[in-house]
Amino acid sequence: MRPLLLFCLSLFGWQAVNAADIYETRLRELSKKGLPFFYNEQVKAEIDYWLLNEEAYTSFLLGKSESSLPYVDEALDAAGLPRFLRFVPIANTNLAYDFSGKDGASGAWPMSFAIAKRYNLKVNSYTDERRSREKAAKAAAAYFADLYDIYRDWNLAITAFRIGPVELNKAIRQAGNKLQYDSIHPVLPEEFQAPLVRFMGVLYIWNFHSLHNIELKPYTAEATDTFWSACAIPFPAIAKRFGVPMEDLRFFNPVLRGEYLPYVVEPTAIYLPAGRCTAFPAFRDSFCAAQRAALPVVSTRALPDTGWHNRDSLAAIGIDVPVTPEGSRVLYDTFTRVVDSVTYIRIVPRSPAIATTTPAVQKTWVYYTVKKGDALYTVADIFDCTVANAKRWNGLSSNYIAPGRKMKFYVNTGKLSYYKNMNALSLTQKRNIAAKD
């Protein structure tokens, strides 16, 4: 009897160890097919987090990724890169195109300003093409190709993509110039360890979610219509005319940095909900015509579109742009265009009517203590902000929020008491609020 009991106990112990190591075993099997491999307790914890599937968030993200990644695959294929790099933007930002990091990186991948300029992405006061799905994917593919040429190791390339070659090279020196990632990982700061840890977690959950009874939740992005404008139009004017919430205008147009459709040298694209803004061309033409009619007469040497004036002719008559009435705020925006080596200027007055009809919303910080069962996306929902903003405001590098943590949210001052009351609500009440929004 005793030998049989010992055998059963040893068998149970073996099964427990085997269950604990199953993540590593499965990831090693993937590595035999050429995929990156790294495993430690951090990776195990990351996989455990995704397997919780709180409020079906893992299922949602898998479904969103499946519908959003074909353009990434196209960019990777064109650059001759492996498709497993498609998991980098999921691991880094949960595919949040409007992501802004504390280090200045932006976009779903995300990338720094210097890298964006190096790979020909436009980043200025008006637009940020790091937030463009197609253009950012092509730039990221080009950057990865260069990183792999340098390191010849995908673990190192994935890490360098997020933290930068300078920081990675510093860690390599601290590791005694060893080029194996296992030797480099321990000397990296925790925040620099995170990119590869998250990548391995996403790699696992993408390939083995069905073995854990987690299914993809179908996701269909709202269709949009594309329009172009050759004049600057504030978002509030568009929102008021077509009933499209400002939050939707920002969501559909993450590349636009301000709250208006700019016009700098060439027409700018704007994406609006499909079928809901069919009258936009007529609205745009009327808005642009009103701007041109209000232009001050500053020169007779104008281009055929009458809104453009030769810089030399302006200087000759003593006009310094932008034209600003004495003792008032700047009321004009100035744009330039070069035609046949001649620089022309257009002075566009800002509409005081829009400014007075859409006053700026006063906002303030409110604080919330995380309760057991809270999920980041639910908390963000009840405070009427995006997950990306909640993470940015609270310095979060993942979606995990520990019970007892103090979080802050930037909210409408007029609803301050409403948001403060969230601390007193039960988990069910908070979920009901999120479900109604």
8, part of any domain: no
308/343 same-domain check? yes
Q: What is the pLDDT of residue 39?
A: 96
Query: Rounded distance, CA 185 to CA 156, Å?
Result: 10
pLDDT in tens, 32-77: 999 999 999 999 999 999 999 988 899 999 998 888 888 899 999 9
pLDDT in tens, 344-370: 555 555 544 443 444 556 788 889 999
393 or 80, greater pLDDT: 80
86 or 327, greater pLDDT: 86
Q: The sheet that has 309-310: what strands, in order across it?
A: 309-310, 342-349, 332-339
66/145 same-domain check? yes
99, part of any domain: yes
152/63 same-domain check? yes
Q: What is the pLDDT of residue 329?
A: 41
157, part of any domain: yes
pLDDT in tens, 316-337: 444 444 433 344 444 445 555 5
Q: What is the pLDDT of residue 98?
A: 87
354/246 same-domain check? no
Q: What is the pLDDT of residue 378?
A: 85
Q: How far is CA 235 from CA 9, 338, 344, 410, in A?
A: 68, 27, 27, 21
Q: How many CA atoms lie within 13 A of 286 on its CB side?
A: 8
Spatial contact of 299 and 309, defined as CB atoms under 8 Å apart: yes
The secondary structure element, H or E, covering residue 60 is: helix 57-68
Would you place residue 194 in the very low, low, confident or very high pLDDT band (cuts 50, 70, 90)? very high
Q: Is 361 helix (H, G, I), strand (E, B) or coil?
A: coil
Which string of b and e fits 310-325 if b means at least 16 CB within 10 Å? beebbeeeebebebee
* Extended beta strands in 124-241, E state: 224-229, 233-234
Residue 84 has pLDDT above 90, yes or no: yes
Tally of domains within the chain: 4
pLDDT in tens, 109-142: 999 999 999 999 999 888 999 999 999 999 999 9
Q: Name the least confident of 30-39, 230-239, 265-274, 338-347.
A: 338-347
349, part of any domain: yes
| Residue 165's CATH number | 1.10.530.10
If you search the block for the tokens 């995300």, which residue do you land on?
110
DSSP secondary structure of 345-374: EEEEE--HHHHHHSPPPPEEEEEEE--TT-
44 or 431, greater pLDDT: 44
Q: How many CA atoms lie within 13 A of 433 on its CB side?
A: 18
| Residue 390's CATH number | 3.10.350.10
Q: Which two tokens stand for residue 73?
A: 């695959």
411, part of any domain: yes
Q: What is the mean pLDDT of the chain?
A: 81
Nearest to 283 by CA among 229, 348, 358, 334: 229
344, part of any domain: yes
Mean pLDDT of 229-243: 90
356/421 same-domain check? no
pLDDT in tens, 218-235: 888 889 999 998 888 899
Spatial contact of 53 and 214, defined as CB atoms under 8 Å apart: yes
Q: Cβ contacts of residue 410 below 8 Å, gap of 6+?
A: 363, 364, 365, 385, 389, 393
Q: What is the pLDDT of residue 402?
A: 84
Q: Which two tokens stand for residue 378?
A: 């639910």
227/325 same-domain check? no
Q: What is the pLDDT of residue 21?
A: 85
Could you tell me the residue range of the domain that residue 87 belongs to? 36-212
Final residue of a structural domain among 180, 212, 244? 212
Q: Quote the DSSP letter at residue 185.
A: G
Query: Rounded distance, CA 88 to CA 111, Å?
Result: 12
Query: Rounded distance, CA 321 to CA 310, Å?
Result: 12
Q: How many CA atoms lie within 13 A of 232 on its CB side?
A: 23
Q: What is the pLDDT of residue 294?
A: 59
Mean pLDDT of 274-303: 72
352/383 same-domain check? no
Rounded to 5 degrees, φ, ψ at 155 are -60, -45
Biggest CA pair distance of the chain: 109
Q: Which two tokens stand for residue 51?
A: 């397997």
324, part of any domain: yes
Mean pLDDT of 186-212: 95
pTM: 0.66
